[in-house]
Amino acid sequence: MAKTEAESAKQGAKVVAFSALRPPKPRSVVIDGLVFVSGVGALLWVLCNMAPN
């Protein structure tokens, strides 16, 4: 039996709904660490350039 368009649309909506219920993928610790270190480095660079010589 061939599926009608309504059934296939309904199936697609179910797939989207169930995929939305799954928890998001955890963020990479390495990327978070690199972003943190670069933020600290940028802050130190700005503070050193603002200091009077």
Q: What is the mean pLDDT of residues 15-43?
A: 89
Cα-Cα-Cα-Cα dihedral sign, residues 38, 40, 27, 24:
negative
CA atoms in the 13 A half-sphere facing the CB of 28 = 4
User: How far is 13 from 8, CA to CA, in rounded Å?
Assistant: 9
- Specify the pTM: 0.50
Instruction: Report pLDDT for 1.
Output: 47
Instruction: Report pLDDT for 3.
Output: 60
Instruction: Report pLDDT for 52.
Output: 84
